Chains A and B, each alone.
Chain A
Amino acid sequence: MSNIIVEPSRQDTVPPDPDAKRPAGRRSRPKKQDASRGVRTVVSPHTLATPRGRVIYWIVLIGVVVSFTAVFVFPLYWMVTGALKTPEELAQIPPSFFPTSIDFGVYAEAWDQLDLGTFLYNTLIYAGGAWLITLVIDVSAAYALSKLRPVLGKLVLAGMLSTLMIPPMVILLPAYLTVKDVPIFGWDLLNTPWAIWLPAAANGFFIFLLKRFFDSIPRELLEAAQIDGASPLRILWSIVLPVSRPIIGVVSILSVVTVWKDFVWPLLVLPDSDKMSISVGIASLSAQMPQNVLIAALVIASLPAIIVFFIFQRSIMAGLTAGSLKG
């Protein structure tokens, strides 16, 4: 991302966001959450302060923590330890809570047998390329629609936003046929990364998010640069991009995660086993693997997502509310 953020200090030149619900990103979120601690919720603070209230509060708290851990963390614990068990131990009834012998060799076995290195590398290329192409194409399109305002710009925007009404699943077959034989050019994009990259850039939601953010950048800022003789490209690079870091962060995370998680599209357009993404690769080989090797592969496949979530938690959650409050 460092190649995009040219002048981080310029961020201060954008006035505070008038719209509180907007995904203004890092700066505004922690403040809101800190404030909510003192803010009144359904249960009044007085009730909470009574001895009875405090007892109930702690019972509820412990109940919630235990049940959330059981529902959301325990399956993952079961997965990580399940991989370490031998096939005999996996079939054993009742199951052992801790694996009797810890042998991480199964992870190496899964890595080799399923060729996970290739799958992970492929997925990285698909997600990374999709991210780069999406940013270049969607940022410049949103900039043109927001600041250059060409003739028929409104119509183009409407056309792009109308794709939000079409769920991806219902145009799956024609999209597949298009990628297989691109009209006019006659290219066959199957088994090439372009089959992932180009459709990923045609994302009306990203255009919408970016354009709405660009609209909030004051015109005077750009006009001043224009008078100084800056070209539109120069204005985009040196003024618009630096102040748009929060929204670019949100779009980046969303685009990478979307490609990383996708299953149906790569299943169709990347059928060769050495071109498969990690999800499709594991799924296609799952039937032939010993149970513990398959589980080890699942652990390896989920690690990147969990690590990314650890690091970018705040941006991911900001993107989530950006996506739902205003779709």
Chain B
Amino acid sequence: MSAISVRGTRRKPGTVRRGVRRNLTAYGFLCGALICFAFFSWYPMIREVLLSFQQNNFVDAPVWVGFDNFRTVITDPTFVTAWVNTAVFTGLALLVGYVIPFFAAIVLNELRHARAYLRFVVYLPVMLPPAVAVLLFKWFYDPGAGLFNQVLDAVHLPTLAWLDSTSTALLSLVLVSTWMNLGTGTLIYLAALQSIPGELYEAAELDGAGLFKRIWHVTIPQTRLILLVMLLLQIVATMQVFIEPYLLTGGGPENATVTVAYLMYQYAFNFGDFGGGGALGLMLMIVLMVFSAVYLRVSRDTDN
């Protein structure tokens, strides 16, 4: 901005008019995006805050109710359950979905055959519409003739109730979520591994480092930033979990799979309480924005 004022002191005739025209053209090009962002991104962000502090039946003017919506939501017994479920879901999904892709990528990077096939196959589930993958797994989870119990039975292990039991329902959600997202992480790590200079491994080997020491002292430090970025991205993505409980369990059995996003949906569309839903959304927004802010900070450091 300072450049403009500097230029202004030595302005030649016609510069102002050209500047105005350039700006008008630029905003002409920008207007479509400005309208879309204003209506469908910026305004909803503000409205999310308004929503959580208002009581609104969408007929009369909305009433300011202070923290009433928050009080309603927090005193709801499912509130704590939903947060615990979301945290457990995120934790389990990280345990499986964060560690496995990294080691899968390390192994894939060593292979000299079937690379194209393996890369294709690992990403295939990511391409499926999530609703299709989830409904497919719903059939696999069938306690009677479902694929998983059939396999367990074939290897003489005890069968599970999967979605029907409070102890395995959340785990089943993690399983399908991991299956359909595993490919993303694997391919991203694979790309990161390919940029590690080979001399580092040679030097480590000359120093007598074994295979696991080389992974620990070369591979992991070299991919540290991408590992951190992926960790944050995955936390933000999995904490928004909605489609799995919506399609598989409806939050049951006994609220064992109610997540925050699903509870928010229920408040708005099942109970007709958009204020309560808005309050839940705002709380989730604040938690996720902390992770997003760290993520943006880290990925900016990756740039430099």
Contact = CB atoms under 8 A, between A and B. Distances in A.
Contact of A79 (B26, B107, B136): B136
Most B CB within 10 A of own CB, among A42, A92, A283:
A42
A91 B187 contact: no
Interface in A140-188: 140-141, 143-145, 148-151, 153, 156, 159-160, 163-179, 181-183
Interface stretch (B6-14, B77-85, B121-129): B121-129
A178 B44 contact: yes
B99 interface: no
Interface string A10-23: 00000000001100
A78 B129 contact: no
A44 interface: yes
Interface string B187-200: 11001111100110
A282 B33 contact: no
A294 B83 CA distance: 33
Counting contact residues on chain A (CB < 8 A from B), the size range is 35 or more
Interface string B128-146: 1111100110011000110
Interface string A272-306: 00000011101100100001001100100110011
A318 to B, nearest CB: 10
Interface stretch (A107-115, A195-203, A241-249): A195-203
Interface in B1-46: 1, 4, 22-23, 25-30, 32-34, 36-37, 39-45
Interface string B105-116: 011111111110
A137 B36 contact: yes
B264 A75 contact: no
B41 A144 contact: no
Given A61-B113, A93-B145, A141-B32, A150 B128 contact: no
A39 B110 CA distance: 10
A163 B187 contact: no
B110 A42 contact: yes
A55 interface: no
B158 to A, nearest CB: 15
B43 A183 contact: yes
Contact of A201 (B36, B109, B265): B36
Interface stretch (A1-9, A98-106, A215-223, A255-263): A255-263
Given A42-B109, A321-B191, A178 B47 contact: yes
A198 B30 contact: no
Given A159-B42, A264-B243, A64 B199 contact: no
Contact of B154 (A36, A94, A159): A94
A50 interface: no
A197 B270 CA distance: 27
A141 B118 contact: no
A260 B132 CA distance: 12
B136 A156 contact: no
A91 to B, nearest CB: 5
B39 A278 contact: no
A153 B41 CA distance: 18
Contacts of B281: 169-174
Contact of A325 (B43, B140, B302): B302
B236 to A, nearest CB: 6
A207 B111 CA distance: 37
A302 B34 CA distance: 35
A82 B269 CA distance: 35
A327 B299 contact: yes
A76 B124 contact: yes
18 contacts: A40-B199, A41-B109, A44-B202, A72-B183, A73-B121, A78-B147, A82-B139, A93-B144, A151-B4, A156-B34, A163-B45, A165-B289, A167-B292, A169-B242, A173-B274, A181-B58, A263-B131, A294-B139
Interface of B: 1, 4, 22-23, 25-30, 32-34, 36-37, 39-45, 47-48, 50-51, 58, 106-115, 117-125, 127-132, 135-136, 139-140, 144-145, 147, 150, 153-154, 179, 183-184, 187-188, 191-195, 198-199, 201-202, 205, 211, 214-215, 218-219, 226, 229-230, 233, 236-237, 240, 242-243, 247, 261, 264-265, 268-269, 274, 277-278, 281-282, 284-285, 288-289, 292-293, 295-296, 299, 302-303
Interface of A: 20-21, 32-33, 36-37, 39-44, 57, 60-61, 64-65, 68-69, 71-73, 75-76, 78-79, 82, 90-95, 136-138, 140-141, 143-145, 148-151, 153, 156, 159-160, 163-179, 181-183, 198-199, 201-202, 204, 207, 232, 236, 257, 260-261, 263-264, 268, 278-280, 282-283, 286, 291, 294-295, 298, 301-302, 305-306, 308-309, 313, 316-317, 320-321, 324-327
Top 4 closest pairs, chain A to chain B, by CB: A40-B198, A141-B33, A150-B26, A279-B131
